[in-house]
Structure 1
Amino acid sequence: MKSDNKPAVCVVGLGYIGLPTAAVIARSGSKVLGLDVSQKVVDTINRGEIHIEEVDLDGLVQGVVSRGLLSASLEVAPADVFVIAVPTPFEKDEKGDHAPDISYVLAAGRKIAPVLKAGDVVILESTSPVGTTEKMRDMIAQMRPDLKIPYADQGGLTRETPDISIAYCPERVLPGRILEELTNNDRSIGGITPRCARKALAFYKRFVRGECVTTDARAAEMTKLVENAYRDVNIAFANELSIVSDRMGLDVWEVIRLANRHPRVNILSPGPGVGGHCIAVDPWFIVHGAPEETPLIRTARGVNDGKMHHVIAKAEALIEAHPDARIACLGLAFKANIDDFRESPARFVASRIARKFGERVSIVEPYATELPIEFTDTGVTQIDIDEALETCEILIVLVDHDVFRVVPLAERATKLVYDTRGIWADQPRVVREEAAKLALAS
Structure 2
Amino acid sequence: MKIAILGSGVIGVTSAWYLAEAGHEVVVIDRQNGPALETSFANAGEISPGYASPWAAPGIPMKALRWLTMKHAPLILRLHADPAMLRWLFAMLGNCNARDYAINKSRMVRLAEFSRDCLIALRQDTGIAYDERMQGTLQLFREQKQLDGIGKDIEVLKADGIPFEVLDKAGCIGAEPGLAASAAPISGGLRLPNDETGDCFKFTNALAAMAANNGVRFLNGTSIHRLVEESGRISHVETDQGKLMADAFLVAMGSFSPQLVAPLGIRLPVYPVKGYSLTVPIVDEPRAPVSTLLDESYKVAITRLGDRIRIGGMAEISGYSRDLSPARRATLEHSAATLFPGAGDMAQGSFWCGLRPMTPDSTPVIGATKVPNLFLNTGHGTLGWTMACGSAHVIADIIAGRKAAIETADLAISRY
TM-score by length of 1: 0.24
The higher relative CO (CA closer than 8 Å, separation ≥ 6) is in 2
- For the pair shown, the structure with the greater C-alpha radius of gyration is 1
TM-score by length of 2: 0.25
Larger proportion of helix: 1
Larger proportion of strand: 2
